[in-house]
Structure 1
Amino acid sequence: MPALPEGTPVPDDGALPGWVRPSPSAPDGAGRPFGVYVHVPFCSVRCGYCDFNTYTASELGGGANQAAYATTALREVDLAARVLDDAGLGSRPVSTVFFGGGTPTMLPAADLARILRGVDDTWGLADGAEVTTEANPDSVTPESLRLLADAGFTRVSFGMQSAVPHVLATLERTHDPRRVPDVVTWARDAGLDVSLDLIYGTPGESLEDWRTSLEAVLATGVDHVSAYALVVEPGTKMHAQVRRGELALPDEDDQAAKYELADDLLTEAGLGWYEVSNWARGPEHACRHNLAYWRGDDWWGIGPGAHSYVAGPAGGADAVAGIEGIEGIGHAGVRWWNVKHPRRYAALLESGASPGAGRELLTPAEARLERVLLGVRVREGLEIAALDPSRRSAVAGLVARGLVDGVAAVRDRVVLTRRGRLLADSVVRELTP
C-alpha cells in the first residue's frame, strides 16, 4: 500500500489554522456543503491488485480488533466536533456520509448504524442526506441490509468488479458472481439505492468477458454503475506478478475499447455519464458524496489513513481568486490525513490526541490546479474563466482535436467529449501551467 504524503505536522489537538474561520459576513463555512467519510479498514482477504489502507485479521494480530472499531471511530467524531466548533465551522448539517474501505459491511450492521447515529447526533443530517456504504456481495444478508436502511442508510455500492469467474480469480475476489442479482434485489427490497462497481483491464480479460460483465450489470436494472480501469500499483501482489511475467497487462487500445463499450451499452440502457468513470440513470442517482470531492466541498475523513479537507474562508475551489487579500494570505484550504495503522490510530484517540499524521496548506495556485484536475472530469465541466489566463487559449486547440465539446466551449465551459474522457489526463496537462 502507498506511503502517506509528506506534510507539516498536525497539532496534537488537531486544531485547524486560524485563517479557515469564516468571516462574520459569511458564517458557517460560507454555506459550503459538509460531508463525512468513514474508512473501515477491514477485509476478509486482501486482493492482489488492492493498494488501499486495508488489513485482514491475520495482518492485525491481536490489536485494533473489529469489535472495538465503532467506539474508536466515534472518538474521532468527538474530536472533529471540537475542532470544527473551535474553527467556527461546526454548525453545518452533514449533506453526505460515505462508509468506504476495506469492506465496511464486515462490521455488524449495528456498529455501522452506531457510527452513523454518532454523526447525526453530533452535526445532524441534512434533509435528504445521502448515506452510502460500500459492500462486497458476500458480506450482506437481507436482514443486514434492512437494518442499515432502518438506521438511515440510503445507498449501497457493491464491489462486483466482474461477472466472469476467471477474471474474478485473477483479481482474487472471493464472491460468487451469481450472488450479485440476489444482493441487488435484497438491497432494493430494503429501500436502498444500488450501485455496482466494475473493473476493466484485468490481465486475461477479453472484450467479450467485459461485455458479459456489462450485460450482467444491466440485467439487474441498477441505477448507478462505476467502471474503473485497473491500475496496478507498485507494492501490490499483482505488480510483482506482472514484473515476473506471470501476468500480462492489456495495452491502451484494449482499455480504450472497453471504456467505449461500457459507454455504449450503459448509454443505450439509459444511464448517462456524469463523471469520467461513473454513469447514473438520472441526477437523483448520482453519488453526491463523490461529486462533493470533485466540486471542492469540505469533508472530514474518519479512520486510519483517511483524508480530510476544509477550504479557506474565500469559499474554496470556486473562489480562489482574490484570496490573497484576506487574513491567512496565500492559503486557499487545508488538507490533512490520519496515521495509517489501526492500532496507532486507536492509541492516539484513546490518549485524547489527534490521529493526524500530516497536513498541507493549499495556495491559490494549487487550489486552482486541483479545480481544473477535478472539474473537467464531470459532465457539467469547468468554466473557462477558472483556468489560468495563460492556458485559456489552449481550449480552441482541444476543440479542434475533438477532445473538448465545441458548443460548450462557446458557452465558456470546458466539457470533455468521449475521446476527451479517454485522454482526460492529457487534457488536464494542456489546461494547466
Structure 2
Amino acid sequence: MIPFRFLHAADLHLDSRFIGLAHIPPSVRSYLKESTFAALGRLVGVAVQEKVDFVVISGDIYDISDASLQGQLRFQEALQELGRHDIGVFLIHGNHDPLDGPRLTSEPPKHVTVFGSEEPVHAVGYRRSDGKEVAIVSGISYPTAKVTENTALTFHRKQGSSLFHIALLHGNVDGDLQHETYSPCTRRDLIERGYDYWALGHIHTRSILLERPAIVYPGNIQGRSIKETGPKGCYVVDVDEEGGTTLHFHELDSVRWWVKEISIEGLSNEAEWIEAVERAVEEIREMHPQAMSVVRFRLTGRGNVHRLLAEKGAAEDLLAELQRRETMLAERQEYNGLVWTEGFAVESGLAIDREQLLLEDSFLGEMLRIAMRSENNPSELDDLINTALQPLMENQELRKLLSSVGADEKLDWLRQAAELGVTLLNGREDSAEEVANPPYRQAGGQKDEH
C-alpha cells in the first residue's frame, strides 16, 4: 500500500449562532461571529502546512437555519485556496446542510467531490507528489434534514481494489443520546463493511471509537455553546505501507468554552469568594492566552457564603462586573486572552450536617431520604417527578414540553428541590425573597440548547 496523508474534519457550522450568550456587547458578538470562519482558515492552513494529499469533510458545513451567503462564499474561497495547492476535497452534506436546503447553485471546482444521496460511489484519492492513486473514497449525503435509516449498510468496498478505503458518514454510531439519532448504526455495522477508515461527522465530541479499522469523530472545528467545551479542531491522518493509521489532532478554535468548578467550602465571606472567582478567571487567561475563552462557573459545596449567593444576588452582581471588565478589552480589540464569564451555576448549599439530618425522625429527614432514594433509582425518580407535575399535564403545551425533559434535567430538579427544602426547613429564615430565589439556579447566560 502506498503511504499518504489526509485531513479529516466535520461539523464546520459556518456562520451559525452561538447558543446561551445573552446581552453580549457588539464588539464581542462580532468576534464570535467571525470565529467559525477563523477556524476554517486555520483548517486550510493546517492542510497546506502539513502537506496533506486531500481533505475529507463529513457533513454540516452550514446550518440551513442560519445559512448565509457570506458563509457559502467563504467556504468556496477556502476550497479555491486548497485547489491552488493541489489539495483535493471530498465532502458530504449532513442533517444541518442537506441537499434540498438553500445554497448557491454553482458547480463545485474540479478538485472537489460532493457525494450525492444515492448509494455511495467510489471516488479516487491521489497522492500529490506523484499523482498515484492511494485511496478509494466513498460517501453519502443527506437528501433532507432527517435521515432515520441505517445508511452505513449501503457502503461496500470496491471489488478487486487493494487501495485504502475511506468512508464518509454523517450519523450516530451506537446511539449517542446527546445527539439526534440520524443515520443510526453500530460499530459492528461499520466493521462489517470492510472499510479501513470511517470519517464520521454529527457528534461534536472528538473520539476514536476504534483504531483498526479506524472509526473516528473529529468533533466540530469551533465550539458554539457551553455543551461544547475543550479544544476543537481536526485530525491529520498518516497511512503507512501496512494500512495502519496514525492520527494527529490540530486545534482550530479561536473561542474556547470552559466549565470550571469553584467550591465555597472554607470561604468565610464575600471577599474571599470574589477573590476565588477572579483567580479562576486569570488561570483560564493564562491557560489560553492566544484566543478568547467563555466560561461558566459551577459554585459547589456548602458554607456561609451560600446565603450571599441565594439571598443577596452576589453572583449576578459579580457577573456584571466581570463582563464589564472584559468588554473594555474587547472595545480595544484585545481578544487574545479575553475571558467572558457566561454565567454562574449556583449549586451550593448551606452548611449542614446532612448525615445527622438523614437519621432524624422528622419531616426534613424523611424528605432527604426520599430524595436520596430517588436520586439512585431512575424509576422512583420518574414516579416522584410525574406525581409532582401531574397538575401541569392538563395543559397540552406544558405536557409536550415536559415530555422532552431528560433524565439529567429531572435529577437537577430533584436536587434543587431538596436543597430548597433544607434551606426552608432547617430552622432558617423562610423569607419570601429566598423562596423567589432558590439556592440552586443559574446567574446569567441562557438555557442550554443544542
Q: Which entry has the higher C-alpha Rg, 1 or 2?
A: 2
TM tier, smaller: 0.3 to 0.5
Q: When the two structures are superposed, what TM-score results if normalisation uses the length of structure 1?
A: 0.33
Q: When the two structures are superposed, what TM-score results if normalisation uses the length of structure 2?
A: 0.32
| Greater fraction helix | 1
